[in-house]
Structure 1
Amino acid sequence: MLTVNKLLPQGQGLATVLLKRASSVELDWDVRQKSRFDATDSVGRSLGVFLPRGTLVRGGDVLVAEDGSMIRVLAAPQPVLVITPCAEHGTPFDLVRAAYHLGNRHVQIELQPDHLKIEPDHVLADMLRAMHLTVKETSAAFEPEGGAYSGGGHAHGHDHDHSNPAHGEPGHVHGPGCSHGHAHEAPAQATTQTAEATQAPVRGKPIGIAIKSAPAAPHVHGPGCNHGHDDDHGHHH
């Protein structure tokens, strides 16, 4: 058995001539949504596929075996229900309503501009027909949405710095001339002096602290102030 542990989404970066030479493997959705499975490629080789957990294999992806050989993945046709708006009085918005109700039931859905696809389910088919949608059974490749948080099973390689509201702008490094208001720490010498000044004294007032009394309120002379005044000094009371 040939071990496969690497996947290239849609054969990204591979030359067309290499893809034409590669063998292929046809898999339905039940297998392709698993990260570990066995398969047989178009030249009869047994494959043991071991991909990172959560990986979804899509039609058009390329598997890379341990010997460096490549295997193109084909989405195998399988039974599906194709859902379209009623030809007489339906609108494309009906598909939005259908996707909403199917999503509430955690149904896997392939979304297309003019139709939806789901795996066969007669209860869901009856519900959709009651909503005046057209439901037909057929055999076709099935590629449902992989979920917003799973990224569809493919790593897109986007690297955004969400700490900055505007993507693409470098993060700010504070320094001289950055014109931002910063609370600067006091110099080490001043910090040392402050620490010494706040040490508890043996007796009396704290050493190193100059106590400055608040300025006294101006005196207003008047009867009973007990100050000796000479009326000839020109004081204005």
Structure 2
Amino acid sequence: MLTLTQHLPPDEDAVTHFTLSLTAEDRTRSRHRFTTEEGQAVYVKLPRGTVLRDRDRLATETGEILVLVIAKPEPVLTVTGNSAIDLVRAAYHLGNRHVSLEITATYLRLEVDSVLKSMLQQFGLTVIEEVAPFAPEIGAYGHHHGH
């Protein structure tokens, strides 16, 4: 089993040996065993509180073996509105509920929750259930809370 101890930023030119597809929750696990897409068992051993992002790279202690981290598609709600203020208002209400939230200029994305879906639809927003990569904000203090 490979032990991955180095967290490296994205580098499109880097040659990687393995690919590790992880959900948003998995990308918050700083000490965990996973299996790469190629079937290689790996143990991620990073400083506590490390949050991996899509396209980050992991390496062994010697840096000889590189693993590309990919945001694995997972069930999510994707929220769109008629204006930016619609999304800001929705983000405000979701933030008050401490919901893990991906924020972009054109949509919000959160974990599937029927109560929140109904609330957002009552605000006049379009809410679509889909399977897509989920990249929630890390938060002001650098950690991610899943609810």
TM-score, normalised via structure 1 length? 0.57
1:8 has 2:8 as partner: yes
Q: Residue type matched to 2:46 in 1?
A: L
For residues 158-169 of structure 1, the aligned pairs below 5 Å read: none
Equivalents in 1 of 2:143, 2:71: separation in Å?
Answer: 19
Equivalents in 2 of 1:151, 1:131: separation in Å?
Answer: 29
State the partner residue of 2:93.
101
1:148 has 2:140 as partner: yes
Deviations 1:176-209 (A, max 9, x none): xxxxxxxxxxxxxxxxxxxxxxxxxxxxxxxxxx
Deviations 1:72-111 (A, max 9, x none): 01111000000001xxxx3221000000000000001000
TM-score, normalised via structure 2 length? 0.90
State the partner residue of 1:39.
34
CA 1:45–1:36 in 2, change beyond 3 Å: closer, same or farther? Answer: same
State the partner residue of 2:118.
126
Q: Residue type matched to 1:119 in 2?
A: E
State the partner residue of 1:164.
none
Q: Quick one: which of 67, 76, 83 aligns to 1:80?
A: 76
Look up the SS of the partner of 1:5 in the other structure.
strand
| Stretches of structure 2 lacking an aligned partner (at least 5 in a row) | none
Relative contact order (alpha carbons < 8 A, sep ≥ 6): 1 or 2 greater?
2
Equivalents in 2 of 1:123, 1:151: separation in Å?
Answer: 25
Q: Residue type matched to 1:63 in 2?
A: L
Q: Quick one: which of 42, 45, 61 aligns to 1:66?
A: 61
Equivalents in 2 of 1:43, 1:115: separation in Å?
Answer: 33
Q: How many residues in Structure 1 have an aligned counterpart in Structure 2?
A: 143
More helix by share: 1
More strand by share: 2
Equivalents in 2 of 1:112, 1:47: separation in Å?
Answer: 32
1:56 has 2:48 as partner: no
- Return the offset for 1:151: 8.3
Percent identity, aligned pairs only, is 43
Equivalents in 2 of 1:30, 1:76: separation in Å?
Answer: 10
- Return the offset for 1:42: 3.2
Equivalents in 1 of 2:119, 2:24: separation in Å?
Answer: 24
| Stretches of structure 1 lacking an aligned partner (at least 5 in a row) | 153-237
Structure 1 runs, 4 residues or longer, greater than 3 Å off: none
Q: Is the 8 A contact 1:26 1:73 kept in 2?
A: yes
Q: Residue type matched to 1:94 in 2?
A: D
Q: Is the 8 A contact 1:2 1:66 kept in 2?
A: no
Equivalents in 1 of 2:38, 2:100: separation in Å?
Answer: 32
- Who wins on radius of gyration, i.e. which is larger? 1
**CA RMSD in angstroms, aligned pairs only:** 1.7
